Chains A and B, each alone.
Chain A
Amino acid sequence: MVVRRNVIRYSLAVDEKKRSNLKTIASESYMKSETLFLKNAQTFAEAMVRCGVRYHFAYPITPATEVMKHTSVILPQYGGRMVQMESELAVANALAGCACTGTLGATSTSGPGMSLMQETISYMAGGELPCIMLDAMRVGPGDGDIVGAQSNYFQATRGGGHGDYRVIVLAPASGQEIVDIMPEAVKLAYTYRTPVLFVIDGVTCTMTESANFPEPHDYASEFDTSSWAFTGTGDHPKRYLLTGSYTHSQGEELNNHLLAKYERIKEEEQRWEEIQVDDADVVLVAFGIHGRMGQDLVSNMRADGKKVGLIRPISLWPFPDKAFEKLPESVKSMLVVEMNHGQMLDDVRLAVNGRLPVHFLGKTGGDMPLCTLAEMTAKINTLL
């Protein structure tokens, strides 16, 4: 008689029964509506897991490492897992493989890691594969520095990869906004079958603050992926993911299809916050940490009788052009403030289209990698 023993069998995933038990345990006793005091990178991890992400692929890189440290602890409680890969190239492609099954996966990285993933982001956009990504932005170019920055705006919104593609880019400015916007991110990823990329400056990412989490809800499982997922021909005729051109006409059809989708996203998914623009003389435009500082700046300057308003883009792509379409007559000029040398500035100028002067204040790197409230206030005073 042959007795088999000590053969290592890789248990790749918790079986379904165990998984659903774990979900119940997680939602009933461990994960419920609560306020947590976390580093915002950890808040990102919590938020995405509570919204249905079950597989997180990552490679260590500062300041994004906090996300994978956190998911390696919490994902097993949901029947999922954090998978540390050998490089960001492997990370992005494993994420693509995960997405091919219709399962929601995520990744998180910073600067150089994001650059390595660009080829696959183009691939996933072309292949219409949903996922959640985070770029915890740090100073570049090259190896750059580990301090926070917003210098990946171009890379995120223009596409650092090849071809005519876009991904939805979201820029929450606080831990609470990360939590609030995550369900929308999952819905956007599945509704439009696209990667959704969070770009959060490293300052916001490493900040520790409170956030209120609602009860966990698996938004991802609410979407039916059976019409496109590559799950085997058991219930559908052969499907194959082709992002190249088997024939030249297929390449053109793919691009036209993507273009139509991107036009729909531009029309329907612009997001921004607007504060006291209606009668403003000068409008500050800033996202992320500078947008958050802008909220204080407006109330401080208004208290001094200075008519300043704020437009804080939340979706960087699609850029909220609509916020700039009907600016009141009172607005004389605009000031863009960024943790870079002027990247979103281009989009603001395109949105304003020469109707108003658009000024810029920005910096990147150094011990103090962002503009202070005093510097922003002083600059606006010169424009009033």
Chain B
Amino acid sequence: MQELAKIYGETLLLDKKFSYCPGCGHGIVTRLVAEAIEAFGIRKRTVSVVGIGCGGFSHHYMEIDAIEAMHGRAPAVAVGYKIAKPENIVYTYQGDGDCSAIGLAELLHTANRGIPVTCFMINNNLFGMTGGQMSPATLEGQVTSTTPKGRDVHQHGYPLRVPEMMADMRGAKYVAREAVYDAKSIRKAASSVRKALDCQMKGLGFSFVEFIVPCPTGLRLSVSDSYKWNKEKMVEYFKPQVFKNEMEQNDEN
């Protein structure tokens, strides 16, 4: 492990046993976040505010201070933290249930407020920790343990696209949606993680990245099928793109 630490640095705790299920997309995103923290050299002043759900485990694999917030409230905790200690880097790591169901108000107001904090929303389109219930991001017709006949949009509404709502908010300076279904998409996602943190480090404003990830357990699919499903179904509705990058908007030659 010490040999690996030489390669990966001190942020990622490589000897920690994972609580993520085999094939879970969280593992990829957690590593991307840890690598970005390591690359920027901000580990000692970075604090993770994690939500309730599988994403709450993410900080256990990193040598950084962490706050486990109440369900959905991580962005508000991050705002209070950043106001009292602006020199630190604070990011939230939340699932789609935490972000877009119970915590949508806090997330959107934090985006609009524009205080430089970063929110990472890991969208596996269901409530993973509680065993695969419908979340706001569950696709139309998708079977979950609470939509046994598939999501009926007339009863449950439509799958909720979150970063689209932030596009018009002037406080939000970097807003993107990424996926992690293959090496190319992972590289793009890594770039967005770095930009989101950089946006905060430069004090420009709020930054947000949504990650489309598979939950093989919740989807009741094999790992490879869950990634395939992710690439074919999820990404069709939740299109990866950079919605907003105002980090350099006022630069001129």
- Tell me the A residues contacting B by CB distance below 8 Å: 1-13, 54-55, 57, 81, 83, 85-87, 89-91, 93-101, 103, 105, 119-120, 123, 230-234, 237-244, 246
**Which residues of B are found within 8 Å of A8, using beta-carbon distances?**
204-205
Check A86 against B67 for contact (C-beta < 8 Å). Answer: no
- Chain B contacts with A in 79-97, Cβ cutoff 8 A: 79-86, 88
Contacts A3-B252, A4-B250, A86-B106; A238 near B64 (Cβ below 8 A):
yes
Contacts A83-B83, A90-B109, A232-B46; A9 near B76 (Cβ below 8 A):
no
**Which residues of B are found within 8 Å of A234, using beta-carbon distances?**
44-45
A239 to B171, CA, bound (A): 31
User: Least Cβ distance of B200 to chain A in Å?
Assistant: 10
Tell me whether B203 is interfacial, beta carbon within 8 Å.
Answer: yes
Tell me whether B140 is interfacial, beta carbon within 8 Å.
Answer: no
A368 to B72, CA, bound (A): 41
Nearest chain B residue, comparing its CB with the CB of A242: B68
A123 to B47, CA, bound (A): 18
Contacts A9-B202, A10-B115, A230-B47; A97 near B67 (Cβ below 8 A):
yes
Check A57 against B251 for contact (C-beta < 8 Å). Answer: no
A-B contact pairs, 28 of them (CB 8 A): A3-B252, A4-B250, A4-B251, A83-B79, A85-B76, A86-B109, A89-B73, A90-B73, A94-B80, A97-B49, A97-B76, A97-B81, A98-B80, A98-B83, A100-B77, A101-B85, A103-B85, A119-B70, A120-B70, A230-B65, A230-B67, A232-B45, A232-B88, A233-B65, A238-B66, A239-B66, A240-B68, A244-B68
Contacts A3-B252, A233-B43, A234-B45; A10 near B116 (Cβ below 8 A):
yes
Check A241 against B66 for contact (C-beta < 8 Å). Answer: yes
**Which residues of A are found within 8 Å of B45, using beta-carbon distances?**
232, 234
Tell me whether B78 is interfacial, beta carbon within 8 Å.
Answer: yes
A8 to B105, CA, bound (A): 24
Check A90 against B106 for contact (C-beta < 8 Å). Answer: yes
- Tell me the B residues contacting A by CB distance below 8 Å: 43-47, 49, 59-60, 62-70, 73, 76-86, 88, 105-106, 109, 114-116, 202-205, 249-253
Check A1 against B73 for contact (C-beta < 8 Å). Answer: no
Check A101 against B68 for contact (C-beta < 8 Å). Answer: no
Contacts A93-B80, A232-B47; A241 near B67 (Cβ below 8 A):
yes
Nearest chain B residue, comparing its CB with the CB of A89: B73
**Which residues of A are found within 8 Å of B115, using beta-carbon distances?**
10, 12
User: Least Cβ distance of A92 to chain B in Å?
Assistant: 8
Given contacts A9-B202, A120-B73, 8 further A-B contacts (CB under 8 A): A7-B250, A83-B79, A87-B105, A94-B77, A95-B80, A97-B49, A97-B80, A241-B68
Contacts A7-B204, A89-B106; A100 near B63 (Cβ below 8 A):
no
In this complex, which of B69, B73, B76, B202 has the most chain A Cβ atoms within 10 angstroms of its Cβ?
B76
Among A10, A89, A90, A246, contact of B114 (Cβ-Cβ < 8 Å): A10
Check A238 against B63 for contact (C-beta < 8 Å). Answer: yes
**Which residues of A are found within 8 Å of B250, using beta-carbon distances?**
4-7
Nearest chain B residue, comparing its CB with the CB of A83: B83
User: Least Cβ distance of A111 to chain B in Å?
Assistant: 20
Among A2, A11, A98, A120, contact of B84 (Cβ-Cβ < 8 Å): A98
**Which residues of B are found within 8 Å of A85, using beta-carbon distances?**
76, 79, 109
Among B78, B86, B105, B251, contact of A3 (Cβ-Cβ < 8 Å): B251
A99 to B67, CA, bound (A): 11
User: Least Cβ distance of B243 to chain A in Å?
Assistant: 19
In this complex, which of A81, A85, A94 has the most chain B Cβ atoms within 10 angstroms of its Cβ?
A94
Check A12 against B77 for contact (C-beta < 8 Å). Answer: no
**Which residues of A are found within 8 Å of B65, using beta-carbon distances?**
230-233, 238-240
A103 to B86, CA, bound (A): 12
A361 to B253, CA, bound (A): 78
User: Least Cβ distance of A354 to chain B in Å?
Assistant: 41
A3 to B250, CA, bound (A): 9
A94 to B49, CA, bound (A): 12
A28 to B253, CA, bound (A): 48
A201 to B250, CA, bound (A): 52
Nearest chain B residue, comparing its CB with the CB of A57: B80
User: Least Cβ distance of A198 to chain B in Å?
Assistant: 20
Check A55 against B84 for contact (C-beta < 8 Å). Answer: yes
A11 to B249, CA, bound (A): 19
Contacts A7-B250, A232-B46, A238-B63; A13 near B83 (Cβ below 8 A):
yes
User: Least Cβ distance of A57 to chain B in Å?
Assistant: 7
A123 to B67, CA, bound (A): 11
User: Least Cβ distance of B37 to chain A in Å?
Assistant: 11
